[in-house]
Amino acid sequence: MKDLRILFTPADPGYLAHLADAEGNRLGVEVPFTPFLDESDYDDLRWYLEEYMDLPDGGAVVRAQRIERNLDRWGLRLHDALFTAPENRALLKELLAGPEPRELTLATQDPDLLRLPWELMVDDAGSLAQRVSVRRQLETPEKTTPRPAELPLRMLYI
């Protein structure tokens, strides 16, 4: 297996996540999922990635260390939410044992789910992002509208 898809459907509360292969065939078991990060977590993550290295001293170091501890916790929590079930864990192991390139695709219509830092997922062997490509995808992408081009085609080179 080279591609494992995670699809989300709205449920009350949160979502139901199920796994599928590249063709969309359901695999594993459906598990409940509730996004757990709030706006302050996203603000911390943005600050850590975009601003911390501008002036990494003083109080910034203390804040960065707190965020780094959270990164590990968030990664484990994301992984466990999807792959605690033995059937789902076996599918992830099968994906990781397969040939490269390996892709873990998160497909949904909800931007709150696409916004989560899925690259932080960790298992017993370490970061999943170092062993698999994490992709985000709209579950049902919009159809593109063909735009007719007429001759002569004018292009501007700069």
**What DSSP element (H or E) covers 18?**
strand 15-20
Total residues belonging to the chain: 158
What per-residue confidence (pLDDT) applies to 147? 82
DSSP string, 104-156: EEEEES-HHHHTS-GGG-EETTEEGGGTSEEEEEESSPPPPPP----SSPP--
Domains along the sequence of the chain with CATH: 3-138 (3.30.420)
**pLDDT, the chain, mean:** 91
Whether 113 and 35 have beta carbons less than 8 Å apart is answered as yes
Task: Tell me the pLDDT band of 142, cut-offs 50, 70 and 90.
Answer: low
User: What percent of the chain has pLDDT above 90?
Assistant: 72
Its pTM stands at 0.81
- Model confidence at 49, in pLDDT bands (50, 70, 90)? very high
Question: Coil, strand, or helix at residue 64?
Answer: helix
Rg for the chain, CA atoms, rounded: 19
pLDDT digits (tens, 9 = 90+) for 62-109: 999 999 999 999 999 999 999 999 999 999 999 999 989 999 999 999
